[in-house]
Amino acid sequence: MRALSLMVIQYVHEMSRAVAFYRDAMGLQVISESPGWSMLSCGNAFVGLHAIEAGVSEGLAGHAGLSLEVQDLEVAIADIRKAGGRLREIREPEPQVPVRLAVVEDSEGNVFEIGYMVDSEGRYASVNH
């Protein structure tokens, strides 16, 4: 077997609000949108939004493992706040973990990370180069 693509699923309470958050704050491209399931693309990966409806046993994940690379952490945090998200904390790079990141919440309360790798001088270094 060979996996064909990567998808991270976020559970949401209000689909239209969640789609708007990931589209507007994170710049993801909407592939499909419906009241119960929506998909957005992020480079070669996908974010699936799954609506939580009354009476289902699924709930928000404390941390689903979603981590998005950004070039400017402060601009990204401002965009997240503007779209109804919240900053939980900022973690500065350490010698053993050369990443500057923020732990944030989306408009639905899902926790994820945004950040970037840094070079030996503390400057942005893309994971894609």
Query: DSSP per residue over 74-111, as a string?
Result: HHHHHHHHHTT-EEEEEE--BTTB-EEEEEEE-TTS-E
- Token duo for residue 74: 């402060």
**Residue 125 contacts by C-beta under 8 Å, 6 or more apart in sequence?**
98, 116, 117, 118, 119
**Residue 90 contacts by C-beta under 8 Å, 6 or more apart in sequence?**
73, 77, 100, 101, 102, 103
Residues forming beta bridges with residue 30, ordered by sequence position = 40
Residue span of the structural domain in which 68 resides: 6-54+61-125
Distance CA 27, CA 42 (A): 8
Does residue 1 lie within any of the structural domains?
Answer: no
Does residue 99 lie within any of the structural domains?
Answer: yes
Does residue 84 lie within any of the structural domains?
Answer: yes
CATH number of the domain to which 83 belongs = 3.10.180.10
How do residues 56-110 score in pLDDT, each as one tens digit?
666 666 655 788 889 899 999 999 999 999 999 998 987 777 889 899 999 999 9
Does residue 42 lie within any of the structural domains?
Answer: yes
The residue that leads in pLDDT, 1 or 35, is 35
Q: Which of 33-42, 52-61, 91-100, 119-128 has the highest mean pLDDT?
A: 33-42
As for how many domains the chain has, the answer is 1
Does residue 36 lie within any of the structural domains?
Answer: yes
